[in-house]
Structures are given as C-alpha cells and as structure tokens.
Amino acid sequence: MRDVMVFLAEHEIPYERYEHPAVFTCEEAERLSPPMPGTSTKNLLLRDRKGTKNFLIVVGYDTAVDLKTLKDLLQVDKLSFASPERLKRLLQVEPGAVTLLGLMHDTEGKTDIVLDEAIWNAEALQCHPLVNTATLVIPHEGIVKFLEATHHTPRILRVPARSEKNP
C-alpha cells in the first residue's frame, strides 16, 4: 500500500495536517476534531446494481444524498453502498475513513469521482489521509493536481439531497 503523504510530496500537493481522535461519522468529526480551515466533506462509495460501476460521491458533511434521484443523474439502475471489502479493494480504506485520497490506489480507474458543485468550488477541502485519526486540509489547486496525478476526471454536478418530505 502506497503512503498518501509520500504520494502528496511526490506530486508537490500542499496540505496542512491535523491530528484528532478516531472519528467514524461526520457528527463525531465535528465534535472531536480541532478547528480547521476548509470545507468538511462526506464521502460515499456507491455501486450500481450489477456491481460493475463504482462511484465515489463527495458532498458537504451535512448532506443526506438522495440516492434515487442520483441514480437517474448517473444513468444507472440502482445505487447501493459498497461493502467494506469493496472499500478495501478499490480505495484501500476501512469504513469510516472513506476519502477522495483513496483514489491514489484506484490505479485501474474502476471508480468514478462525483463532486458536488459546492465542494468543487470550495477554496480547500478537509480529507482523511486514508485513516480516520487525522485530517488534511488541501487547497482547491491541490485537489485538482491530485485528481490529475491519479488519472481521475471528476464529474461535477449538484448532488441531490434528501428533503424531510422525501426520506
């Protein structure tokens, strides 16, 4: 497994590192992490019905994604959450540590990256460095550089959120 810090250094991608207790949810991260610049994200690894397409969805930490509407935007039959085994195989991460930085391990391009417009337009993003005991703050230019280095072209769209009326 490649080290994310080495990868970032090799590609001259700037970041600030913040240590914190292990966090498994966005709510825990908000409560247990130190104050940090950048936009906090929620990362979901989803798969289509047949398991042939994988999507890493990156949204704001407080967004509840409407999977029914998203499946139509992505033109797939159904979306469901990836298993822990799929997370490990594709991104080399455990549940609770899903991050776009895991794309450095997707060398075969089996994962499509979908970024919410607001996330793409953020000045900096908060990302786990493949573990949930630290957070890296990476400026937008660094995210662009990272995606280029991993050969992932992001799909930017307004990821649909569930409303209280449409749980």
pLDDT digits (tens, 9 = 90+) for 6-31: 999 999 999 999 998 887 777 777 78
Per-residue pLDDT tens for 73-124?
999 999 999 999 999 999 998 887 889 999 999 999 999 999 999 999 999 9
Question: Helices (DSSP H) in the chain: which residue ranges?
Answer: 4-10, 26-32, 67-74, 84-91, 117-120, 140-149
Q: Which residue ranges make up each domain of the chain?
A: 4-157
Residue carrying structure tokens 């966090």: 23
Q: What is the DSSP letter of 51?
A: S
- Answer whether 46's CB lies under 8 Å from 59's CB: no
Domain 4-157 is of which CATH architecture? Alpha-Beta Complex (3.90)
